[in-house]
Each structure stands twice: as structure tokens, then as C-alpha cells.
Chains A and B, each alone.
Chain A
Amino acid sequence: MGQFIQQLINGLTLGSVYGLIALGYTMVYGIIGMINFAHGDIYMVAAIISVTVITLLAALGISAVPLALMVTLLVVMAFTAVYGWSVERVAYRPLRTAPRLAPLISAIGMSIFLQNMVQLTQGARVKPIADMMPGQFNLFTFDGFTVFLSYTQLMIIVVTVVLLAIFTYIITRTSFGRQQRACEQDQTMTALLGVNVDRTISLTFMLGAALAAIAGVMVTIYYGVVDFAIGFVAGLKAFTAAVLGGIGSLPGAVLGGLIIGMLESFWSAYYSPEYKDVAGFALLILVLMFRPSGLLGRPEVEKV
């Protein structure tokens, strides 16, 4: 029982990270109807930059955790927003009227480029940092097994819930959110109503990148190690989460992330760590067989 609850907490944390990355996928999909395949690598870039920033702050003697955390988040988000903007400019905008496959291929190209750039400039070795927020709540002891929730885990779960709430509000309630949804449905008409479509799409990519940045910082603090290859697997998992939850749906992205995170956590604990990835993808296939638009996705029936 103690073991079970501990796995639940670990799964929630891992799932929150997947959910955060999946939010970025789903938001970009929600505006241009395309998957940003470089999104996982933007997350990786964010994690790498955060190692530098955290190390630098420590060297400068800034040790107050809230201050260090805020500065790290702001710096990393600013950098990765620029990366998100560039991905859109280089890989998507020139291909806006091309067949749908073309921008996917150019985005995969961006992804390979980002991985190699980081490998070349930062080296292929794993980068460690010291634990920024040591400490944990010991929740209860059951059969001699103490269930804990670390400060970092709590932070990751709370941040995910708060960001989900904020972005849901932006997209469903604000003028900017309506402009985003309008761009997805009919770009020409949106421009005819006075909306700067290029700017709206750029901003969406930057916001998506900022979300990946937050996930990258969280993961760096949680695991304490980062390398240039983490983006590929995390990106794939988060993409699975977004599709599982229903691509285009923000709550769906987080729900999908949580399900995959828990599945992996329980699968590793009770069965075998080796096949945990297979479990996630198998579940995706199963769900899509019965609900092709994902758990919370909108069914594609429309009268226009």
C-alpha cells in the first residue's frame, strides 16, 4: 500500500512534466493544425540552459531558492521563446501554403539541428547540478514504508495545474485566445477582421516554447542531470500524451500526460522497467481504436 501510493506520487510528477510539454504541442496544433516536431528539443535546450543559469547563480552566491528559481525561469523562458520564434520562422512560415507533409519534415530537420547544435557546443556528456530544493514531506508510514512527497515534486504538480488553468483561461476567454482559434479555423477571414495572423502564430510558438522551458527547468531540478538527447524521448512521450488526451485540448494534454506518467511509474515498479515505453504506446493505440479523437478531443463532425 505504501509502495502503491509512492508510485502514484512519482507517476503524478512524471505525468505533470509530460503534461507541461504536451500543452505546448496541443496549443501550437490548436492554431496552425500542425505538430511542432521540434518542441521536444526546445524542452531539451531549456533544460541545458537552466543548468548553466542555475550553476551561474550558485557561483554568484544567490542561494535564496525562490529568487534563484524565478530568475532561472525568466532567463530560460526568454531564451527558449526566441528558439520557438525561430522554429516558426525557419521551418513553418515559408511553408505555410505547402502540402502538410513539408513543414513536418522541416520541423524534424529543426529538431535534428537543435540536438546537434547542443551536442557540439555543450558536449555530449551528462550535465549534473546540485539539488536546488532538497527536503520532503514524510506523509505517513505504512508497513515500515515511509511515503514522501519532495518539495520539488510538489512544485512540479502545482506548477502544472496552475499553468493549465492560466492557459485554458487565455484560450477560451481572452481576445488573444479567440484570435488564436480563429487562425486555426480560417486564416484569411481572420486577417480580414484586422488580426495580424503572422504575429498571432509567432506569439503562439513563443508561448509553446515558454511552456517547454518551464518543463525543462522543472526536470533539471527534479533529476539533477541533463543531456542533449532527453528531448527526443520526452517529446515523443508528450506527443503521445497530447494525442491520447485529444490533440487541441489543453485539459486533454495534461490528462494524457498524467495517464502516461502513472502507467510508466506503475509498470516499472510492479512489472519491468524495460517495457514501460511499450506500455504507453500500446495504450495510445488502444484508445485511438475506440476514440479516434482522443479522450477529450472534439469529434470531427461539422456542418459548414
Chain B
Amino acid sequence: MLQYTDVHAHYGAIHALRGVTLDVQEGEIVTLIGANGAGKSTLMNTLFGKPRASAGSISFLGQDISRHHTHDIARSGLALVPEGRHIFARMSVLENLQMGSIFSDPAHFDADLQRIYGMFPILQQRLEQRAGTLSGGEQQMLAIGRALMSRPKVLLLDEPSLGLAPLYIKQVFNIIRELNERDGMTIMLVEQNAHHALRIAHRGYVLQHGEIVLSGTGKELLASPEVRAAYLESSAHA
């Protein structure tokens, strides 16, 4: 469904992605783990051309999208919940959700809204509140809700559990699993919380210094000694 082929990306002189090849199949949860600065966020952002891939190709549903405009890529059915949430702080919660449905059919706006309320009841109670005054966890839910309003074919989540309390983390992972199992949504997930992520993922990739160094099913990676040593030691008993 989504295919990266030998993708490179640069920030000026910094070579952030060094020939990444990976794929995401329909209906899968694929997770990407790696240390800080490994290039995980860059990998997701290049999909949207921010920054553009400096070499290689990225295709979605068989079409090379690596030269398309960011807004056209979003409209083709890919939705990103970026690292740091990026909600619109000076808009209400409802307006943020409306921003998520800019190009979807107005006929199913109400149904989509109800679906988001079902997942995140707190958002319904805070509809008129300025999004900038929501708590960090509520902002994260809003960012996920906003991405879902466009009915994406693939949902990309960049560290959705970052900065959340354990109770919220559990809720976010439950929702990711539910979206995948119940709605069949294809999901790509970047997580610091490698243990949780590998447990719900069908497959995973390990990124190091801008290169894929390991890949396999969630189970295989959980059991792999390299992954355990580098990414799971501290959370192995979580």
C-alpha cells in the first residue's frame, strides 16, 4: 500500500535518511523504533514532502507521490499526527476537528464527529474550549481525532504517547488497536515506548542513523537480543 524505496533525506548538510526501503501493507500496524535522532520523524515527514526525499521514491497505492504537493498527498488519503501534536491553539476544539474534515464529504461530518466523541468523550465536553488550554493528554486526543476526521486510508502516528500519564498511554494504545481491528485501518506508528508498540504491531522496523538495521514481526523483534538490549532493557518489565 505504502512503499519507500531507497529514500534519502537531507536537512542542509545533515543526511537524516540514508537509503530507507520499507513497506506497509493494507490492514497492518507497522511500527518504527529507534533512538532519539535516528530519523523516525523525518521518515514520516518525507512522506508528505517536508522535507522532500532527496533521492529514491515513495509510492502510495502504486503511484509515486514523492514530488506531489503536501496538500495533495494529504488529500490522497494519508493523515499524520505529528510529533508535538500541532493542534491549532487559538481555535476551539470543534474548529480543530472541522479543520480535519476540510476536504471530506460534508454529508458524513456529523457521523464522523460522533465516532470521535465515542473514542474521546472528553472532547465532546470541551467542544467550545480553546484548544491551547486543553491538557497535554487532551491535546493528543484532539490531534488524533482531527486526523481521523478525514477518514484516512493510512494513519501515521508520531509518538502519540509522548508526555502522557500511564493511564492515557494505555487508552491511546487501545484506540490504535481498536481502529485497526474494528475498522481495518492501516497504521504506521513511531514510538519511544517500544515494548507497547511491538506488542500491538504486526511488523516493525528498527531505524539507526537513518538506516533500517532490522525488521521482522512484532513478536520476532520483541524477542530479538539486539532490540532487547538497545530499546527494551529499561521497559522490559513494564
Contact = CB atoms under 8 A, between A and B. Distances in A.
B88 A195 contact: no
Contact of A179 (B50, B69, B102, B146): B102
Measured as residues with beta carbon below 8 angstroms from the partner, the interface class of chain A is 20 to 34
B70 interface: yes
Interface residues of B, number: 24
A192 B48 contact: yes
Contact of A304 (B48, B80, B89, B102): B89
Given A194-B103, A302-B132, A182 B91 contact: yes
Given A193-B100, A193-B102, A303-B133, A178 B89 contact: no
B82 A189 contact: yes
A175 B98 CA distance: 8
A164 interface: no
Interface string A184-220: 0110111111111100000000000000000000000
A16 to B, nearest CB: 29
A73 to B, nearest CB: 31
A181 interface: yes
B71 A195 contact: yes
Given A178-B95, A182-B88, A193 B150 contact: yes
Nearest to B156: A192
Nearest to B80: A192
Given A182-B88, A302-B89, A193 B132 contact: no
A136 to B, nearest CB: 45
B20 interface: no
A160 B23 CA distance: 57
B75 interface: yes
Given A178-B91, A193-B99, A194-B150, A304 B132 contact: yes
Contact of A197 (B71, B95, B103): B71
A190 B91 CA distance: 13
B41 to A, nearest CB: 12
A192 B70 contact: yes
Contacts of A175: 98, 102
A199 to B, nearest CB: 9
B79 to A, nearest CB: 8
B164 interface: no
Contacts of A190: 99
B86 interface: yes
B71 A189 contact: no
A182 B95 CA distance: 10
A176 to B, nearest CB: 10
A196 B70 CA distance: 8
A182 B101 CA distance: 13
A17 B102 CA distance: 35
Contacts of A179: 99, 102
B113 interface: no
B15 interface: no
Interface string B36-63: 0000000000001010000000000000
Contact of A191 (B74, B133, B150): B74
A239 B20 CA distance: 51
B86 to A, nearest CB: 4
B116 to A, nearest CB: 15
Contact of A185 (B69, B88, B103): B88
Given A181-B91, A182-B88, A302-B90, A196 B133 contact: no
Given A191-B48, A192-B74, A304-B89, 18 more contacts: A179-B102, A185-B88, A189-B86, A191-B70, A192-B48, A192-B70, A192-B80, A192-B82, A193-B100, A193-B146, A194-B74, A194-B75, A194-B102, A196-B69, A196-B71, A197-B71, A303-B132, A303-B133
Interface of A: 175, 178-179, 181-182, 185-186, 188-197, 298, 302-304
10 contacts: A178-B91, A179-B102, A182-B88, A182-B91, A186-B88, A188-B70, A190-B99, A192-B86, A298-B90, A302-B90
Interface of B: 48, 50, 69-71, 74-75, 80, 82, 86, 88-91, 95, 98-100, 102-103, 132-133, 146, 150
